[in-house]
Structure 1
Amino acid sequence: IMLKNYNHQIIGFALTMVAWILCCISMGLPQWQEWHYEDPMTFKPTVAFVGIWKACVFHNDNNSSNIRICHQYNYRDSFVPLYIRINQHLLLVSSLLGLFGKITTIIALSTMCMRRVPRNAICNPFSLSGILNVIASSFLYLAILLNYVSTIRKWGVAFPPSFNMPSHPDTQKMGSAMALAITAAVFFLLSGTIFLSLNLAISKTPRSKI
């Protein structure tokens, strides 16, 4: 690998790391959808967040402060709609692919630093990392698109009575977790593009004739 491409590889690795961290953070946040409705018990405006793995409701107490109550859900809960279950799988696969992409990038960097790549090699050791990152980005984009469609079309969730949440809010919009997921998807795509472009640079490098 040519020395001038070393900076590109470091940038790609940094993008992979940040993308994977943002993907994991966004997966655990409830702010994928922001619901606004009137609480049937107190008749006060209420804000709730509906995420991939949990839903959180904000209640106002007598001191005008917000009390956050979160409810977890998992694969065994029958009330979880299909689009949330699909997003659960998409985000899990994205995080796993990002983790494997990070590991293969570390291996490729160590191989490069140890000078184990043959001088006449036409195979880019970062190709696998690039492919994994591009696929992770694609899965993330699918999850973002599905959440966007469900928000625009106001698909509801039949929460159990213990959640004290309606199945459909008065109004709903996309939450801040979407911004993190979009940033992670862009970073995964950029890092994958950088790693795969190195393969083109290597294949176009003229080899000396003996």
Structure 2
Amino acid sequence: MLMRNYNRQMGGFALTIMAWILCCISMRLPQWQIWHYEDPMTFKPTVAFVGIWRACVLHNGNNSSNIRICHQYNYHDSFVPLYIRINQHLLLVSSLLGLFGKITTIIALWTMFMGRVWRNSICNPFSLSGILNINASSFIYFAVLLNYISTIRKWGVAFPPSFNMPSHPDTQKMGSAMALAIISVVLFLFSGTIFLSSNLAIGKTPRSKI
């Protein structure tokens, strides 16, 4: 029983690492929204990516290659709309929760490897890892949901003139960063469930068998 739980917790730890990496990658990518509009300067169809921390514009260069120009912003910039500002905080908290969950899991696995066994599932440190991972999953989910709502309702962004981007595109859709964030949600949820369920199994194990 203990060896099986140990294997499950190692699997949960692997899921936690993958979920945290995908969360951090999706947070840095600009492809949360893909905008299509006509550039007012060149009157050419233009594609732009609007992310949580930056916006990028694709310009047609020589030899049919695309030149991407990115502009950074943060939650202190006054032009950042409320939904992006909320997503910035949600994803920052999610990455911190995932990091703490990973550290807690490492400590718990090391302590378990050293021979300590918890007979009470409530006192098991894997419970904390499970709770942190499930909370991280919830925060990322809310960020994904808010970005989805802003996309289908075509909420705009009043970018400064230096960005050379309109406040509203002609059309917009969700980008690949959303897919990574959704995968991160699922992996965090699975890992948290594994930790909590394995703790319940440990708590139900008779003391004479430990």
TM-score range, shorter chain: over 0.9
> What's the offset of the Cα at 1:62?
4.3
- Measured in 1, the distance between the counterparts of 2:208 and 2:102 equals 33
Contact preservation (8 Å) 1:124, 1:198: no
- Measured in 2, the distance between the counterparts of 1:21 and 1:43 equals 39
Please show how residues 49-128 of structure 1 align to structure 2 within 5 Å.
49-117=49-117, 120-122=119-121, 123-128=123-128
Aligned to 1:186: 186
- Measured in 1, the distance between the counterparts of 2:130 and 2:94 equals 14
Residue 157 of structure 1 aligns to a residue whose secondary structure is coil
> What's the offset of the Cα at 1:207?
2.9
- Measured in 2, the distance between the counterparts of 1:77 and 1:142 equals 22
CA deviation map 1:64-92 (0-9, x unaligned):
22110000001221000000000000000
Contact preservation (8 Å) 1:33, 1:172: yes
CA deviation map 1:27-68 (0-9, x unaligned):
000000000000011010000000000000001134322110
Residue 124 of structure 2 aligns to a residue whose secondary structure is coil
Aligned to 2:26: 26
- Measured in 1, the distance between the counterparts of 2:83 and 2:99 equals 24
CA deviation map 1:99-155 (0-9, x unaligned):
00000000000000001235x444322000000000000000000000000000000
Question: One-letter code of the match for 2:4?
Answer: K
Question: One-letter code of the match for 2:138?
Answer: S
> What's the offset of the Cα at 1:206?
2.4
Question: One-letter code of the match for 2:197?
Answer: S
Please show how residues 35-54 of structure 1 align to structure 2 within 5 Å.
35-54=35-54
Residue 63 of structure 1 aligns to a residue whose secondary structure is helix
- Measured in 1, the distance between the counterparts of 2:177 and 2:120 equals 42
Aligned to 1:203: 203
Aligned to 1:141: 141
Aligned to 1:171: 171
Q: Which moved more, 1:103-112 or 1:3-12?
A: 3-12
- Measured in 1, the distance between the counterparts of 2:86 and 2:120 equals 41
- Measured in 1, the distance between the counterparts of 2:124 and 2:62 equals 63
- Measured in 2, the distance between the counterparts of 1:11 and 1:62 equals 48
Moved over 6 A (4+): none
1:7 aligned onto 2:7 = yes
How many pairs align?
Answer: 208
- Measured in 2, the distance between the counterparts of 1:203 and 1:61 equals 63
- Measured in 2, the distance between the counterparts of 1:28 and 1:62 equals 28
> What's the offset of the Cα at 1:200?
1.4
Question: One-letter code of the match for 2:49?
Answer: F
Contact preservation (8 Å) 1:32, 1:174: yes
